[in-house]
Amino acid sequence: MQARKKYVLLGLCTCCWLLLFYWGGLQERLLGLITYRRGEVARPWPDWLDRALLPGFADQAELQNDGGPGDSPRQRRQAWAGIYKDSRCRMETCFDFARCQAPSGFRVYVYPPEKGERVSESYRKILTSVAESRYYTSDPREACLFVLGIDTLDRDQLSTQFVPNVDERIRGYPLWNDGRNHVIFNLYSGTWPNYTEDLGFNVGQAILAKASLNTEHFRPGFDVSIPLFSKEHPQKGGERGWLVRNTVPPRRKYLLMFKGKRYLTGIGSDTRNALHHIHNGKDIVSLTTCRHGKDWEKHKDARCDHDNQEYERFLVLNTRSRYRLRRGVGYLCNTRNSVKSE
C-alpha cells in the first residue's frame, strides 16, 4: 500500500514537471538562475556584445516593401524569362562536343573585330589573353569554343562603352548557330531599381561568363560565374600577393575596403545599409555616398550628410597621397639623373 502511494506521488510530480517544461517557463527560469549574477541587468536574448555598434537603420516597412519602388518578384521573373529564353541549357543539351574531338584538341577562336569596332580596355585584355594562349586558333574549323569580337561587357545603355544592335549582328554570323559553343563575357548587373540584367540581345545557347550572376537564371554546370574586375586590373599577373604562410591577418594597412554608392531605395539598399557599421576608419573602410540619381535628396535620410562627408574626405586624402607619391617619384628620378650627369 505504501509503495503504491509512492509510485502515484512520483507519477504526479513527473507530470507536473513535464507540464512546466512544455509550457516553456521552466527552461527560461533555470537558465536565469544558472547564468544570473548579482547586480547584473537582465538583457534580452541574444546577448550581442556589440549591440551598441549595430544600430538599426532600415525600417521594417522598407524591408517588407523590398526597399522602395520597383517591380514585384513575379514581374522580375517574367522579365528574366523573356531575356534568358534558353534557361534549361546544359552542356549535354546546348553544347556540341563533336567540335572538340578534332586532332588539334581544344581550340578557341576569336572573331576578328570589324572595322571601326569600339572595344573597351577590359574586353581587349580578355581577347588578348585568349589570342596569346596556347589554345588559340585562327581557323574557325578547328575551334571548339568561340569568343565574340563584339564588346559585351557593359550593357548599360547610358554607358559610353555600350555597343548597340548586338542581336542583329550576331544573328548575321554564319558560325553563331543560336550561340552554340560560344562564350559571352559580361560584367553588367542591371540598373536601379529592378536590376533585370537585360543584355539587350538573346544569348541563346551560348555560355554566359558573367559577374554578379543572379541565381534565378544561372544555369548550373553551364554558365560561369566570374569576379567583377575594373579596367585597371592587369592583363597578366602583377605583384606577388601579401598573404604568406602563417601571416593572418596579412601585412597590409587595410583589411577591407569598399567605396561606392549607397542606394536609398530599391533592390540592394537594405544590404548596403545593413553593413554600414563595419566602417571604423582604420583597417576597415566602407565609404558610401547618397548622391545617386537626380532625386536622391527626396529619399535623403539622417545618415546621408555624414556619409557624404566621409566619402569626400577620404577621396581628398587619397588624392593628396597620390600627389605626394608622384612628387616623391619625380624627386628620386631627378636626383638619379643628376648623379649620373656628375
291, pLDDT greater than 90: no
What's the pLDDT at 55?
Answer: 47
How far apart CA 312 and CA 294 sit, in angstroms, is 19
Query: What Rg, from alpha-carbon coordinates, does the chain have?
Result: 30
Rounded CA gap, 238 and 140, in Å?
A: 32
Residue 122 · residue 228 · CB < 8 Å: no
Residues 78-103 have a mean pLDDT of 78
Query: For residue 132, which of 235, 240, 1 has the smallest C-alpha distance?
Result: 235
Share of the chain above pLDDT 90, in %: 27
- Cross-strand pairs, 136: 108
In this structure, are strands 145-147 and 224-225 parallel, antiparallel, or unpaired? unpaired
Pick the residue with more confidence: 160 or 82?
160
Name every residue whose Cβ is closer than 8 Å to that of residue 250 and which is 6 or more positions away in sequence: 242, 243
Alpha-carbon distance 221 to 312, whole Å? 43
Residue 174: pLDDT band (50, 70, 90) is very high
Three-state DSSP class for 258? strand
* pLDDT at residue 8, as a whole number: 72
- Grid cell for residue 5: 502511494
The amino acid occupying position 64 is: Q
**DSSP helix/strand/coil, 55:** coil
88-102 average pLDDT score: 90
Give the pLDDT band (50/70/90) at residue 330.
low
Q: Are 106 and 144 in contact (CB under 8 A)?
A: yes
pLDDT for residue 288 is more than 80? yes
State residue 86's pLDDT score.
65
Q: Among residues of the chain, what percentage have pLDDT more than 70? A: 64
